[in-house]
Structure 1
Amino acid sequence: MKTKTGKWITSGLLTLATAGLMSANGIAAEKPNIVLVFLDNFGWGEPGFNGGGIVRGAETPRMDQIADEGLRLTNFNVEAQCTPSRSAIMTGRYAIRSGNGVVPLGDGVYGLVQWEYTMAEMLSDAGYATGMYGKWHLGRTQGRFPTDQGFDEWYGIHNSTDESTYSSRPGFAESGVEETWVMDAKKGEKPKKVRPYRLDYRPIIDKDLTDRAIKFMETNAKEKKPFFLFLPYTATHFPTMVHPDYQGKSGNGAWADMLTQIDAYTGRLLDSIDDLGIRDNTIFIFTADNGPEMAHGNDIVSLDTTSQGSPGPWRGTLFTSFEGSMRVPFAIRWPGKIPAGKASNEIVHEMDLFPTLAKIAGGKVPEDRMIDGMEMVDFMTGKKKKSGRESVIVYMGNDIYGLKWRNWKLHFKELDTWAGAVKEYGMPKLYNLYSDMSERENVFFADTWVPKAAMPKLMEHAASLKKEAPIKPGALDPYTPPTTK
């Protein structure tokens, strides 16, 4: 794995460490395959297993199958924007630490420095084949592509799907802005431009991602090599354009058609795993990067998607600090290891997947930097009822907006919509998430004991930022962390 200076430990040491971990943990004699489906701007209330599905216009039986055959988490938390969320899940660290607290604007250098150690690098070092198909949003310059950060291969886009609209917009051709391309890359090679990412390819790309993902699984299953498949789909990011095979499929409009499409692609993945005979030794995770998009008019394509996404009973969309932004669908299946049909409202954060999967796979978690994720193998496998996590620092960009502690939420700032005005309070607002899912009834003065109990968590976090200075946005490689006194 990468050390603080970017050097690598010897394969012999890694083999010994891996063998020791597997022996000590007794998790599995054979490393399980890992499939991580990561949807884009997909709200908590979309899948049937969270009360969506038919009430959103389309059944979601294959999404629901994962929950029925595994564990459903109703309190799975992410960061509020695409880039921060992807940084957090890849590194097991709050995005503020990696310098990726906000979605980048412009074409400058951004993303993960080489010093960061990603989930893909960790699993690659543990002997896994690693493939990614879809949206990256963690760098588009040399040294910052997925194949520079642990993935053996990648097909997809650097940034966001709204860029597919560029070529159709008035004035773009004369702007001097580079057109977005779909990329194809292998580790150790320069990524190749495949085709421009335009509206003609927008409805088709997720099928191509699914096809490539299945081929990746087939290849590695045949070679009996454990694999990590990361599938960050472009759905359901604006513009929501359905593949021709699914247009009108639901009979309830374009959004329901998109749900049908996502469910069908999920089903193809599940069926392929069954056909390959690797069902019992494959961890399948279904989740998303953040909550749904805000309502907006769509003057680019003629679709009835002016009010996109459902956060379920929670308030807010992406780019806010409310639960509708932070809570996303989550279901995980691992037959014979994770009990079927279970649900939990314990707090879990996307950062927790890094150390959890590391323990399962025999990977190494860096000890030379702050890791915010918590290992939760015993919780996931039903040996413990508690996740071990009691709090989450609520970020909006690089600013702390709140603190979530148990069933309580402290708000120091609030933003109702992405384009609204920031409201900053002299005294924080306090919400009880059990009795007030929409976060509107301030009970601060009725329960002043809660801030006294919760605030030490925020103080610990603040102290950690002083001990280990966050990487500055746009930091160049090679990056060496400053020496702490």
Structure 2
Amino acid sequence: MKRKRVVCGFGLGLLLLGTGYVSAQSPNIVIIYADDLGYGEVKALNPERCKLETPAIDSLARDGMVFTDGHSSSAVCTPSRYSMLTGRYSWRSKLQKGVLNPWGENLLNPERITMPELVRTKGYLTAAIGKWHLGWDWQKRDGSYVFDEPVRGGPVDHGYDYYFGPDVPDFPPFAWIENDRLTAMPTENSKPDPRGGRGGPLVPGWDPEAMLSTMAGKAADYFDERASDKNPFFLYFGLTSPHTPIVPSKAWQGKSGMGAYCDFVLETDHTVGQVLQALEKSGLDQNTLVFFSSDNGCSSGPSKSIKLAKELGHYTSGKLRGHKGSNFEGGTRVPFIVRWPGVVPAGSVCDQMVCQIDYMATVADVLGIEMPASAGVDSISFLPLLKEPQAAPPRETLILHNYYGEFALRDGPYKLILAPGNGQGFGGGPSDAEAIQRGDPMVQLYNLGDDVAETTNLANIHPERVQLMTEKLVSSVARGRTTPGKPLRNDAEIDLYKKHLHKGK
């Protein structure tokens, strides 16, 4: 897709309020969040090496702004969602690596302000539909989980007026949760699903192939309700795809000619289209700010990404190295698109570094909200870029985290990885042990401006830059925040180097 880089002001009808820009009619806000969708799986972002057609997501790119250096804060699910919702790096929480496991307790401190709680102060209605994966406070009775009572700790306890979703598509219980209750009792017990689901309590007749269409229908109903009551709203729509289980519905099976995973990507795009069409049908689209992104890169195992690249020329990470789980760019550089009719110039591109952790400060800026000192402590507004894509970069540094909890720091075009490899190899090798065995430096330094594919480690050539960036990272971790303000405490002791992973074979 041929795209333009533009410099333009905001449209008419915008009022300057404090440091933020707010329309005379406050915009609705919709976040569409894909699950394991790689940068290279969107045709508009990877036209030469993406063999799939993604017309719905492409339409967002055509009508909005593409951020070519947009990131999730982590290379895996739970941490990315935590950071997006709170504007705080996930490694400041008690979760230091990996993701929450099935039945994992709620990760969110009730005293920590979330993005939906923030917009509520401006009279917004808030809803979450789809994947949650930030934990619940499941109760037990006689050694078994309780399903016939409210389950606390979920979305409605952290700023959402309404929730509907399956929590995590491959975790038990396999049931719909509405607000804080299961809609039906999981009276059966399933075995692990060969398509990528764990076993456990299951509602009779549970159909994972119906998840996407059911959630899209709920979003359409929500838009209709908001069109009737005229209240501004904030909707988080968490897709369950193309994450495991790989379950394209019958209408999409075989559509790609490239296997079930690629069929599922096509259905993911179709679901995005259903949500956008429902928004338009309700008459709300012209006053709605839409963010589209993914929680991390493509998962190389379920996608069979290496086979797709070698045999079909389909590159799920585009030109980037690595996949989900990795501190290489393919783990965290993700599709990142913003559409806001009349405000964000259509067909525009911004090359500045931004992150989903910045959604919170950006939304606050849009609505003219002054955030409390303890809220969004790592979130930096990129609203100026929506006004002028060539504006000065809002953030100089960005801290990233892989599946194993290993740290990386972006500082302008440079990227420092505090590990010789990539943990134990999930998301792209070499593993740390393999890197040590072959004599690689104990850290990695890349200049993404010249080497976005991260082929040349400059750590031994520029030790002074390694030292400077390491000092910046140490300082950012110690202060408990990266925004101006009083230093704060992290929720856990931070192990910067993860040396237990760096043992040679």
TM-score range, shorter chain: 0.7 to 0.9
Q: Counterpart of 1:59?
A: 53
Quote the residue 2:474 is aligned against. 459
Provide the C-alpha distance between the structure 1 equivalents of 2:36 and 2:390, rounded to a whole number of angstroms: 31
- Relative to 1, partners in 2 of residues 1:105 and 1:266: Cα closer, same or farther, differing over 3 Å? closer
* Larger CA deviation: 345-354 vs 436-445: 436-445
- Unpaired runs of 5+ residues, structure 2, are 1-14, 138-150, 187-201, 305-312, 482-486, 494-505
Whether the 8 Å contact between 1:132 and 1:146 is mirrored in structure 2 is: yes
Q: Which residue of 1 aligns with 2:270?
A: 264
Match of 1:33 in 2: 28
Q: Distance in 2 between matches of 1:69 and 1:369?
A: 32
| CA–CA separation in structure 1 for the residues paired with 2:266 and 2:303 | 23
Give the match for residue 185 of structure 1: 178
The 3-state SS of whatever aligns with 1:49 is coil
Distance 1:33 1:156 in 2: 21
Instruction: Please state how far the C-alpha of 1:30 moved relative to its aligned partner.
Output: 1.2
TM-score (norm 1): 0.81
Please give the TM-score of this superposition, normalised by the length of structure 2. Answer: 0.78
Superposed displacement of residue 218, structure 1: 1.0
SS at match of 1:312: coil
Letter in 2 for 1:388: P
Q: Name the amino acid aligned to 1:90.
A: L
Cα 1:232–1:109 shift into 2, 3 Å: same
Measured in 2, the distance between the counterparts of 1:151 and 1:245 equals 33
What is the alpha-carbon distance in structure 2 between the residues aligned to residue 255 and residue 105 of structure 1? 23
1:418 is matched with which residue: 423, 426, 430? 426
Structure 1 residues 258-297: aligned runs within 5 Å: 258-295=264-301
In the alignment, which residue of structure 1 is the partner of 2:308?
none
**Structure 1: which 5+ residue stretches go unaligned?**
1-19, 164-178, 299-306, 474-485
Q: Is the 8 A contact 1:40 1:290 kept in 2?
A: yes
Structure-2 change in CA distance of 1:278 and 1:203 (3 Å): same
Deviation at 1:23, TM superposition (A): 6.2
Is the counterpart of residue 114 in structure 1 residue 110 in structure 2?
yes
Paired residues in the alignment total 429
Q: Residues 255 and 308 of structure 1 are in contact (CA less than 8 Å); yes or no, is this contact kept in structure 2?
A: no
RMSD: 3.0
Task: Percent identity, please.
Answer: 28
**Cα distance, 1:308 vs structure 2:** 10
Residue matched to 1:126: 122
**Equivalent-residue separation in structure 2 for 1:363 and 1:201 (angstroms):** 42
Matched, 1:138 2:129: no
Any residues of structure 2 matched to 1:189-204 within 5 Å, and which?
190=181, 192-193=183-184, 196=202, 201-204=207-210
Give the Cα–Cα distance (whole angstroms) in 2 for the partners of residues 205 and 216 of structure 1: 17
SS at match of 1:404: strand
Aligned partner of 1:68 among 62, 73, 77: 62
| Shift in Å, 1:82 | 0.6
Q: Deviations over 1:421-473 (max 9, x none)?
A: 43577652211213323323112243345335534431331221394222259
Question: Could you say what secondary structure the match of 1:343 adopts?
Answer: strand
User: Does the 8 A contact of 1:126 with 1:362 survive in 2?
Assistant: no
* Residue 370 (structure 1) shift: 6.3
Task: From the superposition, tell whether residues 255 and 105 of structure 1 become closer, same or farther in structure 2 (CA, over 3 Å).
Answer: closer
Moved more, 308-317 or 231-240: 308-317
User: Which residue, out of 465, 468, 491, partners 1:450?
Assistant: 465
3-state DSSP of counterpart to 2:453: coil
Alpha carbons of 1:439 and 1:405: their partners in 2 closer, same or farther (altered >3 Å)? same
How far the C-alpha of 1:28 sits from its partner, in A, is 0.9
CA distance in 1, matches of 2:115, 2:26: 15
CA contact (8 A) 1:31 1:226 kept: yes
Q: In structure 1, the residue corresponding to 2:357 is in which secondary structure? A: helix
